[in-house]
Amino acid sequence: MKLNRRQMPDIATLQAFECAARHGGFTQAARELNLTQSAVSRQIKELEARLGLTLFERVRQRVVLSEQGHALLPEVRNLLNRTEAMVLKAMASRAGQQSLSIATLPTFASRWLTPRLPGFLEGHPGTTLELASRSEPFDFDEENFDLAIHYGQPVWAKAVCHYLCREVILPVACPALKENMAGLGPADLADGPLLHLSARPKLWAEWFDEQGLDTTGAFSGHRFGQFSMQIEAAIAGLGAALLPRYLIEQELADGRLAILFERPLTTENSYYVVVPEGKRENPLAEAFRLWISSQVTE
């Protein structure tokens, strides 16, 4: 069934609902929206009438979100966020600029991608980039990105995954720790301290197994939520870390980190550029995909 446009609430009404829900009342919402309290109350009543729902309940002379209001709120916020993104993109376009929105892994963006972006922008003047941090696959219908950088398997609903590169990790530490390990072998790393990535707690065990070593001591040590935190911990001398070579190019070059043993491990997952099915004909997104592929050396 297709709704008549007169049955659809307007953006101002949805903004009033979201604002009142966020503030837990109509008075603060009215101040933020530069409206009277009665105007906000009227918009909420109109929305409730259109939807046939009770969105707020009066409790002790104040209004609180009803169960139905709680259920609706995330959908409204998502719609408002997408509308804002659409308006900003249109405004950039109006200024004669192209725009490209990219969802990317946070450490990949800060340490590898961002330093290389001037090269892309030089070849595509007038382009405005929007980079957002995403670590897991999401629904492109819900989040309006032109493409994403993905680590894992080439599986993403309603999108096409283009291979970018594999991941090769190495055991590294600060120079002082490497000096202390002079004359020791890979098996001695099990004595610690080891630094782990919380999302991939078996990485050291995989590395030890690849070397034909006992994995008993592979799980002890400090844990960090992101590669960037783990890198800083290794530089600070907290222990040895298994890190992708591409993330520590600068640290290896300037001597803040050193490779303990030239025994790389290629992980089972790889990096991919993911393009939503609805944007496969986007020339700027395709240009970016080809450009980023040219930056990879394996």
CATH number at residue 60: 1.10.10.10
* Residues 147 and 33 reside in one and the same domain: no
* Residues 74 and 111 reside in one and the same domain: no
The percentage of residues in the chain with a pLDDT greater than 90, rounded to a whole number, is 64
**What is the mean predicted confidence (pLDDT) over 24-31?**
89
Of the given ranges (61-70, 107-116, 128-137, 153-162), which has the lowest mean pLDDT? 61-70
96 burial via Cβ count (<10 Å: 0-12, 13-18, 19+) = exposed
Find tokens 């960090």 and name the residue: 224
Give the amino acid at 41: S
**What is the mean predicted confidence (pLDDT) over 119-148?**
91
Collapse the DSSP code of 103 into the 3-class scheme (helix H, G, I; strand E, B; otherwise coil) and give the result.
strand
* Residues 27 and 161 reside in one and the same domain: no
Instruction: Give the span between the Cα atoms of 141 and 158, in whole angstroms.
Output: 9
CATH number at residue 277: 3.40.190.10
Does residue 1 carry a pLDDT above 80?
Answer: no
**What is the mean predicted confidence (pLDDT) over 148-175?**
94
Instruction: Compute the mean pLDDT over every residue in the chain, rounded to the nearest whole number.
Output: 89
* DSSP state letter for 49: H
Query: How many structural domains does the chain have?
Result: 3
pLDDT at residue 89 in the model: 67
**What is the mean predicted confidence (pLDDT) over 23-46?**
90
* Residues 124 and 260 reside in one and the same domain: no
**pLDDT tens by residue, 166-175:** 999 999 999 9
Sheet strands (E) in the chain: 56-59, 62-65, 98-104, 127-133, 147-152, 159-173, 194-197, 222-224, 240-244, 258-259, 265-276
Collapse the DSSP code of 113 into the 3-class scheme (helix H, G, I; strand E, B; otherwise coil) and give the result.
helix
Does residue 87 carry a pLDDT above 80?
Answer: no
* Residues 28 and 54 reside in one and the same domain: yes
Does residue 112 carry a pLDDT above 60?
Answer: yes
**pTM of the complete model beyond 0.75:** no
* Residues 244 and 257 reside in one and the same domain: yes
Give residue 219's domain range. 167-265
pLDDT at residue 93 in the model: 61
* Residues 157 and 192 reside in one and the same domain: no
